[in-house]
Amino acid sequence: MLAAAVQAGAVVEIGSGTGVSGSALLAGMSDEAILTSIDVEAENQRVAREVFTLLGYEHQRTRLITGRALEVLPRLQDGAYDLIYISGDRTEYPAVLHQARRLLRPGGLVAVDQVLTPAGLADPGDRDAAAVAVREAAAMLRDEDHWQPALLTVGSGLLLAALR
Could you tell me the domains of the chain?
Answer: 2-163 (3.40.50.150)
Which of 4, 16, 21, 11 lies closest to 158, judged by CA? 21
Measured CA to CA in angstroms, residue 6 lies from 38, 82, 99, 105, 159 at distances of 21, 7, 19, 11, 16
Instruction: Using a cut of 0.85, tell me whether the model's pTM lies above it.
Output: yes
The tens place of each residue's pLDDT in the chain, 164 residues long, gives 999 999 999 999 999 999 999 999 999 999 999 999 999 999 999 999 999 999 999 999 999 999 999 999 999 999 999 999 999 999 999 999 999 999 999 999 999 998 988 767 777 788 889 999 999 999 999 999 999 999 999 888 999 999 99
Predicted pLDDT at 123: 74
Predicted pLDDT at 62: 97
Contact 13, 85 (CB under 8 A): yes
Predicted pLDDT at 126: 84
